[in-house]
Amino acid sequence: MSENWDHKTSEFSESREFGDGDSLKLVPLWSIVLAILVFVGWQFLSVRTQPHHHPGPLPMRLLMDYMIGTLLASYVLLVGYVSRDVKRRKMPSVLWMLVAVVMPCGIGAVVYFLLRQPVMIRCPSCNTELAAGLHFCPQCRFQVAPVCGQCFRGVQVTDAYCPQCGHKVADDGGPSRLHAYSDN
C-alpha cells in the first residue's frame, strides 16, 4: 500500500513540474538563442546601414539601437514562452502561436495572457483533472495540498501555525505525505 501512495504522490509532483517561481524555465533554448541572434543582428545591421555623418549625437543613436534590439529580442523570448506555456495549458498551440506572432506590437501575447486557461493537474487518487489552486479533489476528497484544519485555507508544508487564524497545523493530523518537514 505504501508503494502505491509513493507512486501516486510522485506522479502528482511530476505534474507540477513548473511552479509559480519557475516561469523562466518555460522559455525554450531555441528562443534564447534566436533572441541573442536577433539582438546582435540588429546591432550589426544598424551600425552598417547608418550614415556616418548622421546629424544626431552618437550616444543617442547607440542607445536607440540598443533599445530597439532589446525590444526585438524580448519579443522573441515572449513568443518562445507562449510556445511552451500553451502546451502546458493544453490549448491549441498553432492558433496561439499565430496570434502571438502575427498581431503587431505584442498585442497577441497580451491577448494570450488575458485568455489563457488555468494549468490543470491530475488528482493522484482518482486521476481527475483539477485546477492547480485546489486543496481537495472534488471527486474523491483527496487532499492534494496542505490546509489548516480550522479555517481550511491553504498553508505551506513548512508552516507550524496557520498564517490566517493562528491554529497549530501539526495538531490537524493531516496526511503524512503533506507533513514531510515536520519535527514531530
Domain edges within the chain: 2-117
Model confidence over 71-116: pLDDT tens digits?
A: 999 999 988 888 888 888 888 888 888 888 888 778 888 888 888 8
If you average pLDDT over each of 39-48, 51-60, 133-142, which comes out highest?
A: 39-48
184: pLDDT strictly greater than 90: no
Distance from CA of residue 143 to its chain's centroid?
Answer: 23
CB-CB contact of 142 with 124 (8 Å): yes
Which among 88, 72, 87, 84 is positioned nearest to 35, based on CA atoms?
Answer: 72
pTM above 0.75, yes or no: no
Weakest-pLDDT range from 13-27, 30-44, 48-62, 137-151: 13-27
* Span 8-32, average pLDDT: 60
Model confidence over 130-176: pLDDT tens digits?
A: 777 777 788 887 877 777 777 877 777 777 788 888 888 777 765 54
Reduced to 3 states (helix: H, G, I; strand: E, B; else coil), residue 19 is coil
What are the start-end ranges of the E strands in the chain? 120-122, 129-131
69, exposed or middle or buried, with CB in 10 Å at 0-12, 13-18, 19+?
A: buried
Which among 74, 82, 77 is positioned nearest to 108, based on CA atoms?
Answer: 82
Q: CA 68 → CA 51, 63, 75, 97, 121, distances in Å? A: 18, 9, 11, 22, 39
127: pLDDT strictly greater than 70: yes
Distance from CA of residue 96 to its chain's centroid?
Answer: 16
